[in-house]
Chain A
Amino acid sequence: MEAKFRQAWFNPVFSSILDSPPERIALAGFGALQVGLHMTGLQGWACPFKAVFGIPCPGCGLTAAMDQLLHGDVDAAFHTHAFAPISLIAFLVIFAAVLTPASLRDKMVAGINRFERNYGMTAWVLSALILYWCVRLFGLV
């Protein structure tokens, strides 16, 4: 049981996405399109949870927050979604993985993979995001 949990917790998720060409290219493309549409005032990908139930999902507000962050409005970005800086960094890393040459990308992916395996970085971030979502749902922030 503990071994299974450890395996799941230290599973290198982010580096596996970076290592897969279709996943990183599609995510970079969709991410740029989503933020770009929001910046131009057009409606991008609407959250299906919010559209059906009116309840925001854990990632709701991230696009708007990243837009605010890109415009330098740090306070508003934090107010909209506290995970905006982490999401922006993740997207920049995905873009870097798309644009950099293979040798440099492999080194970067290997480094992130090691970091995930040793510290469970992705699991910590996702758990914190779920916790933040619960806190927001109950109106505590």
Chain B
Amino acid sequence: MLSWFGTALAWVAGIVVLVKLFQKEGILKGILGLICMIYTYIWGWMHLKDESLNLKTWMYIWTGCIVLGIILNFMNRG
């Protein structure tokens, strides 16, 4: 349940960053971000200080969910 909630929250954060990527960089980079979400994640961290994009909260949520996912993954293995 916690794992699914974390994944869903990560998805929401990812979509918010992806929408901002589409708006800022245009359709081609947006599609690239859709295909390769790692690129969206990198782009989000690179533009963290851009106040107009307001990415900080979403990037922290996204990263937190990824870390939570890794911890839960290890706990399930153990």
Contacts and interface: CB of A to CB of B under 8 A. Distances in A.
Nearest to B7: A51
| Majority secondary structure of chain B interface residues (helix, strand, loop or mixed) | helix
B60 interface: no
A87 B3 CA distance: 30
Interface residues of B, number: 24
Interface residues of A, number: 26
A52 B35 contact: no
Contacts of B39: 27
**In the complex, the 10 A-B pairs of residues with the closest C-beta atoms, listed nearest first:** A59-B35, A48-B11, A26-B42, A13-B28, A52-B11, A51-B7, A58-B35, A126-B31, A30-B38, A48-B14
Interface of B: 7-8, 10-11, 14, 26-29, 31-32, 34-39, 41-43, 45-46, 69, 73
